Structure 1
Protein backbone atom coordinates (compact mmCIF):
# COMPACT_ATOMS: atom_id res chain seq x y z
CA UNK A 1 0.00 0.00 0.00
CA UNK A 2 1.21 3.48 -0.83
CA UNK A 3 1.96 6.20 1.69
CA UNK A 4 -1.24 7.79 2.92
CA UNK A 5 -1.71 11.38 3.93
CA UNK A 6 -4.51 13.27 5.60
CA UNK A 7 -5.55 16.60 4.10
CA UNK A 8 -6.11 18.71 7.21
CA UNK A 9 -7.56 21.53 5.06
CA UNK A 10 -10.26 19.28 3.59
CA UNK A 11 -13.83 19.74 4.83
CA UNK A 12 -14.04 15.99 5.52
CA UNK A 13 -12.72 15.06 9.00
CA UNK A 14 -9.58 12.89 9.19
CA UNK A 15 -11.43 9.78 10.40
CA UNK A 16 -13.69 9.91 7.33
CA UNK A 17 -10.67 10.35 5.04
CA UNK A 18 -9.05 7.28 6.61
CA UNK A 19 -12.29 5.28 6.31
CA UNK A 20 -12.56 6.27 2.63
CA UNK A 21 -8.92 5.31 2.03
CA UNK A 22 -9.33 1.90 3.68
CA UNK A 23 -12.60 1.36 1.80
CA UNK A 24 -10.72 1.92 -1.46
CA UNK A 25 -8.05 -0.56 -0.37
CA UNK A 26 -10.80 -3.13 0.27
CA UNK A 27 -12.58 -2.42 -3.03
CA UNK A 28 -9.29 -2.68 -5.00
CA UNK A 29 -8.52 -6.02 -3.36
CA UNK A 30 -5.44 -4.71 -1.55
CA UNK A 31 -7.23 -5.85 1.62
CA UNK A 32 -9.05 -8.99 0.43
CA UNK A 33 -11.93 -10.64 2.31
CA UNK A 34 -10.71 -12.44 5.44
CA UNK A 35 -7.45 -10.51 5.62
CA UNK A 36 -6.49 -8.51 8.69
CA UNK A 37 -6.75 -4.74 8.57
CA UNK A 38 -3.52 -3.10 9.75
CA UNK A 39 -3.41 -2.68 13.52
CA UNK A 40 -4.47 0.55 15.20
CA UNK A 41 -0.80 1.24 15.93
CA UNK A 42 0.15 0.76 12.27
CA UNK A 43 -2.68 3.02 11.12
CA UNK A 44 -1.72 5.70 13.68
CA UNK A 45 1.82 5.66 12.27
CA UNK A 46 0.68 5.52 8.63
CA UNK A 47 -1.69 8.48 8.88
CA UNK A 48 -0.03 10.49 11.66
CA UNK A 49 -3.23 10.77 13.71
CA UNK A 50 -4.40 9.91 17.22
CA UNK A 51 -5.58 6.40 18.09
CA UNK A 52 -9.14 7.66 18.66
CA UNK A 53 -9.19 8.97 15.09
CA UNK A 54 -8.24 5.51 13.81
CA UNK A 55 -10.87 3.90 16.04
CA UNK A 56 -13.52 6.24 14.62
CA UNK A 57 -12.47 5.31 11.07
CA UNK A 58 -12.69 1.59 11.87
CA UNK A 59 -16.13 2.15 13.41
CA UNK A 60 -17.29 3.64 10.10
CA UNK A 61 -16.04 0.54 8.27
CA UNK A 62 -17.80 -1.73 10.80
CA UNK A 63 -21.03 0.27 10.47
CA UNK A 64 -20.81 -0.12 6.69
CA UNK A 65 -20.36 -3.89 7.02
CA UNK A 66 -16.88 -3.89 5.50
CA UNK A 67 -14.95 -5.17 8.52
CA UNK A 68 -15.50 -7.00 11.79
CA UNK A 69 -13.44 -7.02 14.96
CA UNK A 70 -12.50 -10.06 17.03
CA UNK A 71 -11.59 -8.99 20.58
CA UNK A 72 -7.89 -9.49 21.35
CA UNK A 73 -7.30 -10.67 17.77
CA UNK A 74 -7.82 -7.74 15.41
CA UNK A 75 -10.03 -6.34 12.71
CA UNK A 76 -10.66 -8.29 9.51
CA UNK A 77 -12.20 -7.60 6.12
CA UNK A 78 -15.71 -9.02 5.86
CA UNK A 79 -16.89 -11.14 2.98
CA UNK A 80 -18.90 -8.27 1.57
CA UNK A 81 -21.52 -7.55 -1.02
CA UNK A 82 -21.94 -4.45 -3.10
CA UNK A 83 -23.93 -1.61 -1.57
CA UNK A 84 -26.96 -2.29 -3.81
CA UNK A 85 -27.03 -5.97 -2.86
CA UNK A 86 -26.97 -5.08 0.86
CA UNK A 87 -29.88 -2.68 0.40
CA UNK A 88 -31.92 -5.32 -1.46
CA UNK A 89 -31.40 -7.95 1.27
CA UNK A 90 -33.82 -6.19 3.64
Structure 2
Protein backbone atom coordinates (compact mmCIF):
# COMPACT_ATOMS: atom_id res chain seq x y z
CA UNK A 1 0.00 0.00 0.00
CA UNK A 2 1.40 3.41 -0.91
CA UNK A 3 2.19 5.57 2.07
CA UNK A 4 1.53 9.20 2.82
CA UNK A 5 4.54 11.48 2.40
CA UNK A 6 4.41 13.95 5.28
CA UNK A 7 7.37 15.84 3.79
CA UNK A 8 5.57 16.43 0.47
CA UNK A 9 4.29 19.92 -0.39
CA UNK A 10 0.99 18.24 -1.33
CA UNK A 11 -1.41 18.32 1.63
CA UNK A 12 -1.98 14.93 3.28
CA UNK A 13 -5.73 15.02 2.59
CA UNK A 14 -5.04 15.48 -1.14
CA UNK A 15 -2.61 12.54 -1.08
CA UNK A 16 -5.28 10.36 0.53
CA UNK A 17 -7.89 11.54 -1.98
CA UNK A 18 -5.50 10.73 -4.84
CA UNK A 19 -4.90 7.22 -3.51
CA UNK A 20 -8.64 6.58 -3.23
CA UNK A 21 -9.19 8.02 -6.72
CA UNK A 22 -6.57 5.55 -8.02
CA UNK A 23 -8.51 2.72 -6.39
CA UNK A 24 -11.67 3.95 -8.11
CA UNK A 25 -9.93 4.21 -11.50
CA UNK A 26 -8.45 0.73 -11.15
CA UNK A 27 -11.85 -0.77 -10.30
CA UNK A 28 -10.79 -1.77 -6.78
CA UNK A 29 -13.64 0.49 -5.62
CA UNK A 30 -16.41 0.04 -8.22
CA UNK A 31 -19.21 2.48 -9.04
CA UNK A 32 -21.95 2.66 -6.38
CA UNK A 33 -19.74 0.83 -3.84
CA UNK A 34 -19.44 2.41 -0.43
CA UNK A 35 -15.98 3.81 0.26
CA UNK A 36 -14.29 3.28 3.65
CA UNK A 37 -15.65 5.40 6.48
CA UNK A 38 -13.74 8.37 7.87
CA UNK A 39 -12.89 6.24 10.91
CA UNK A 40 -11.50 3.50 8.66
CA UNK A 41 -9.46 6.05 6.70
CA UNK A 42 -8.01 7.48 9.91
CA UNK A 43 -6.80 4.01 10.89
CA UNK A 44 -5.59 3.05 7.41
CA UNK A 45 -3.52 6.20 6.91
CA UNK A 46 -2.75 7.11 10.53
CA UNK A 47 -4.25 10.58 10.25
CA UNK A 48 -6.68 12.74 12.22
CA UNK A 49 -10.40 12.42 11.57
CA UNK A 50 -10.49 15.95 10.14
CA UNK A 51 -7.84 15.00 7.58
CA UNK A 52 -9.91 11.98 6.50
CA UNK A 53 -13.01 14.19 6.34
CA UNK A 54 -11.16 16.68 4.12
CA UNK A 55 -10.03 13.87 1.82
CA UNK A 56 -13.63 12.69 1.37
CA UNK A 57 -14.79 16.28 0.83
CA UNK A 58 -12.10 16.72 -1.83
CA UNK A 59 -13.20 13.51 -3.59
CA UNK A 60 -16.79 14.73 -3.54
CA UNK A 61 -15.83 18.14 -4.96
CA UNK A 62 -13.88 16.43 -7.74
CA UNK A 63 -16.86 14.22 -8.61
CA UNK A 64 -15.33 10.90 -7.53
CA UNK A 65 -17.90 10.17 -4.82
CA UNK A 66 -21.32 11.22 -3.58
CA UNK A 67 -22.70 11.16 -0.06
CA UNK A 68 -26.13 9.95 0.98
CA UNK A 69 -27.05 11.32 4.41
CA UNK A 70 -27.35 8.60 7.06
CA UNK A 71 -26.08 6.00 4.57
CA UNK A 72 -22.49 6.81 3.68
CA UNK A 73 -20.30 7.87 0.78
CA UNK A 74 -20.30 5.95 -2.49
CA UNK A 75 -18.27 5.86 -5.70
CA UNK A 76 -19.88 8.06 -8.35
CA UNK A 77 -20.20 7.25 -12.02
CA UNK A 78 -17.60 9.20 -13.92
CA UNK A 79 -17.37 9.79 -17.63
CA UNK A 80 -14.30 8.19 -19.22
CA UNK A 81 -11.23 10.40 -19.21
CA UNK A 82 -10.66 12.07 -22.55
CA UNK A 83 -7.00 12.92 -22.80
CA UNK A 84 -6.20 15.03 -25.81
CA UNK A 85 -9.85 15.95 -26.37
CA UNK A 86 -10.84 12.86 -28.33
CA UNK A 87 -14.35 12.90 -29.77
CA UNK A 88 -16.93 10.14 -30.13
CA UNK A 89 -18.35 9.40 -33.50
The TM-score range, normalised by the shorter chain, is 0.7 to 0.9
1:8 is matched with which residue?
Answer: 6
TM-score normalised by the chain length of structure 1: 0.85
Q: Which has the higher helix share?
A: 1
Point out where structure 1 has 5 or more consecutive residues left out of the alignment: 85-90
Q: Distance in 1 between matches of 2:59 and 2:32?
A: 14
The two structures, once aligned, show a CA RMSD in angstroms of 1.8
Alpha-carbon shift at residue 79 of structure 1 (Å): 1.3
Aligned to 1:72: 70
Structure exhibiting the larger radius of gyration computed from Cα positions: 2
SS in 1 for 2:67: strand
- Partner residue of 2:54? 56
Quote the offset at 1:83 in angstroms. Answer: 4.5
TM alignment of 1:22-33, pairs within 5 A: 22-33=20-31
2:67, 2:80 → 1: CA distance? 20
Between the aligned partners of 2:23 and 2:54, the Cα distance in structure 1 is 17
What is the number of residues matched between the two proteins?
A: 84
Deviating runs (4+, > 2 A) in structure 1? none
Q: 1:17 aligns with which of 15, 18, 21?
A: 15
TM-score using structure 2 length: 0.86
Unmatched tracts of structure 2, length 5 or more? 83-89
